[in-house]
A and B are shown apart, each in its own frame.
Chain A
Amino acid sequence: MSQYLKVILQFLLLVLFQVLVLNNIRFAGYANPYLYILFILMLPYELPGWLLLIISFITGFTIDLFSAQQGIHTAATVFAGFLRPGILKLVLPKQDSVSGNYPSLQAMGVQTFLTYSVILVIIHHFSLYLLEIFRFSEIFRTMLRTGLSSLLTLILIIITQYLFYFKHQSDS
């Protein structure tokens, strides 16, 4: 029960933080971190596939409600949710040796967690920016946007991971 409560709390916090704070960051006129994807990254392993997709849909849809261009976050997040099981299998070949209920820096180790989040964040951001412009003619600009934003998102992901990590330490 407490695990579900934690997931819901995580959802609310990340969405609110995204909408009220991160959407207002105008860094370098190019990049915007989308930390809410961390919610998809950190969903429990045991989640069935269909629920993972539905949750991804709801998450993207909620972020879309707060922007004028509907659907782009929904499409990108569902895509990320769809690829998540495959990427997890790729970075964690031996599922049995996994500690913890959900992917985190603490449980997976720095290298594995970074590989996992770099792949998913870049895929999510790239599809997001591609859908926003909806054409291939500015592909290099789109890639630059993806790169800068992914970097910002990843930095924020690592910071939040360490904050959670230290919180767990003090808990025990």
Chain B
Amino acid sequence: MQTLLALLVKHKFFLLFLVLELIAFTMIINNTYYQRYILINNANKVTGTVYQWKAGVSEYLFLKKVNTSLALENARLHERIERYQLGSEETHTYPQDTLTENKFEFIPAKVISNSINKRNNYLMIDKGQQHGIKPDMAVISSDGVVGIVINTSDKYSWVMSVLNSNAKINGRFLNTNFQGSLSWDGKNYRIGTFSDVPSHVNITTGDTIVTSGYSFIFPPDIMIGTVKDYYIDKGDHFYTATLLFSADYNNISHVYVVRNNERDELLSIITDISI
């Protein structure tokens, strides 16, 4: 016993090091599975307040850019309304389908912290549980997909950016409907990888890729990017395309969190099947 104690005392520096590293690694691993615990929730309050304060200052620097992008979005939406009105004049005799109404709700939010140069990038937004935000909701901007909510506190949420090794998003070609999956290789924040496209599909540079809508997270037809280049590895049956993201993640300030009102219903069907 005494020798054991003596041994512990002798190596106390190393033992303390091991204990502290163990705590740190527990934090890393728990976080990898997006576990939400009280610690993080409370920490978000402090962190969020500091980031909000910082964003309050730096916001003014980019007002011009933000204004332009919001004006552009406005124009796009006006155009769309115009088109719908034209369409409804021709088809107004059909009854409206009330079932599909409000399947997706959009909650506007401001980005208060963002990064693009890490291998795994995250954003913090100024909306949280109070505003109805839950993990696994999609985040989009006026230019395209942004990420997925992973962690919320009362007033703030962490969003896993598309620029993250853990983000996998299902996409499809707008013109041919063929699917693939989007990932990011960590090199350039403007360029993503679109893989698992069957080799018989005709791809051309400039093809538009949008979300497929087959996941329960992202609504369909949200812009992802355009094909920049494509290749097929030897012995492989799938194309890999590099794509240019439509959104500039370096300059992102206003986003929308998407709530899928049918998500719980859809998930309950899946769990029924698996049982």
A78 touching B21 in the complex, CB below 8 Å, given contacts A64-B27, A70-B27, A71-B27: yes
Asked if A30 is at the interface (CB within 8 A of a chain B CB), the reply is: yes
Q: Is A74 a contact of B120 with CB atoms below 8 Å?
A: no
A68 touching B151 in the complex, CB below 8 Å, given contacts A32-B117, A132-B119, A133-B119: yes
Q: Is B122 a contact of A69 with CB atoms below 8 Å?
A: yes
Q: How far apart are the CA atoms of A81 and B125 in the complex, in Å? A: 33
Contacts of B40 in A (CB 8 A): 70
Number of interface residues of B (CB under 8 A): 43
Interface of B is mostly: helix
Q: How far apart are the CA atoms of A64 and B46 in the complex, in Å? A: 12
Q: Is A68 a contact of B158 with CB atoms below 8 Å?
A: yes
Min Cβ gap A50→B in Å is 5
Contacts of B116 in A (CB 8 A): 26, 29
Q: Is B20 a contact of A57 with CB atoms below 8 Å?
A: yes
Asked if A23 is at the interface (CB within 8 A of a chain B CB), the reply is: yes
Min Cβ gap B1→A in Å is 23
Contacts of A27 in B (CB 8 A): 117
Q: Which residues from 146 to 160 on chain B have a C-beta closer than 8 Å to any C-beta of chain A?
A: 150-151, 158, 160
Min Cβ gap A82→B in Å is 4
Q: Is B16 a contact of A50 with CB atoms below 8 Å?
A: yes
Q: Is A138 a contact of B25 with CB atoms below 8 Å?
A: no
Q: Is B119 a contact of A138 with CB atoms below 8 Å?
A: yes
Contacts of B58 in A (CB 8 A): 24
Q: How far apart are the CA atoms of A60 and B41 in the complex, in Å? A: 18
Identify which of A26, A56, A70, A133 gathers the most chain B CB atoms within 10 Å of its CB. A70
Query: Can you pick out 18 interface pairs between chain A and chain B where the beta carbons lie within 8 Å of each other?
Result: A23-B113, A24-B115, A26-B250, A29-B188, A50-B13, A57-B23, A68-B124, A68-B158, A69-B31, A69-B122, A70-B28, A72-B24, A74-B20, A82-B13, A82-B17, A129-B119, A133-B120, A145-B119
A-contacting residues of B (Cβ < 8 Å)?
12-13, 16-17, 20-21, 23-32, 40, 43, 46-47, 50-51, 54, 58, 113, 115-120, 122, 124, 150-151, 158, 160, 165, 186-189, 250
Beyond the given A75-B24, A78-B17, please list 12 additional residue pairs across the A-B interface where CB-CB is below 8 A: A20-B50, A26-B115, A29-B187, A60-B24, A65-B43, A65-B47, A66-B47, A75-B28, A129-B119, A132-B119, A133-B119, A141-B186
Q: Which 8 pairs between the two chains have the least Cβ-Cβ distance?
A: A71-B27, A68-B122, A71-B28, A75-B24, A74-B24, A49-B13, A70-B31, A68-B158
